[in-house]
Amino acid sequence: MERKLLLATTNPTKVEKMKYCLKGLGFDYLTIDDFKMRPEFEEAGVSYEQNAIIKALAWSGIVDCLVMASDGGVTIPVLGKKWNGLATHRFAGGNASEIDCCDALLKIMANYQKSEQRVIYWNEGLAIAKNSKLVVSWEESGEKGYLAKTYNHDKMLVGWWLASLWVVPRSGAIYSELTDTQRRVEDDSHGVWLQLKQKVQEFLR
């Protein structure tokens, strides 16, 4: 299998997560910045996996290498159908900042203060495509976490605002406030990206 692969995202946190999935497989990574052209597509899927496939197929139609794309969002059980996890990144409006998103979600959750009401789950779809054809795709859901009641503006992870509100159940710490080493340990032990890494490694080896 060829060893060039485009990480089809402008999100720096997603870039690191994809590299985490591909670690040790010997790929040469390309980024969107390496290409002048941009495909047109609409994230109109009814699942995270479908949206990841849409992105991967679109980009693989204009570049001559493997393409990896993802799509993710949070499930908030207490909100039921009032919350659309597929729009997690856009629910506060297309021009909303990451701080705007944190503030908007905390406002929505203001009436749900008990721990059992603030349970959340992260979901992620991941797809690999080549020449407008799907190679493989997956969708996984992570373990239970909790939504914090406040956050630290100075500890936000660029491209993943929800990490500033994600309480890790084992330690009670907020994910974005962990050190890089602590986050690596967390990722290697639990969570949706560990599940995806196992699928990617098994398939591509």
pLDDT for 159: 87
DSSP 11: -
Mean pLDDT of the chain: 93
Contact 123, 141 (CB under 8 A): yes
- Distance CA(71)–CA(54), nearest Å, equals 10
**Would you give the distance in Å from CA 5 to the centre of its chain?**
18
pLDDT band at 171 (very low <50, low <70, confident <90, very high): confident
Please compute the mean of the pLDDT values over residues 77-99 and round it to a whole number. Answer: 91
Q: Greater confidence, 186 or 135?
A: 135
Is pLDDT at 100 greater than 80 in this prediction? yes
Q: What is the pTM of this model?
A: 0.92
All structural domains of the chain: 4-204 (3.90.950.10)
pLDDT in tens, 127-140: 999 999 999 999 99
Query: Do residues 183 and 176 touch, judged by C-beta distance below 8 A?
Result: no
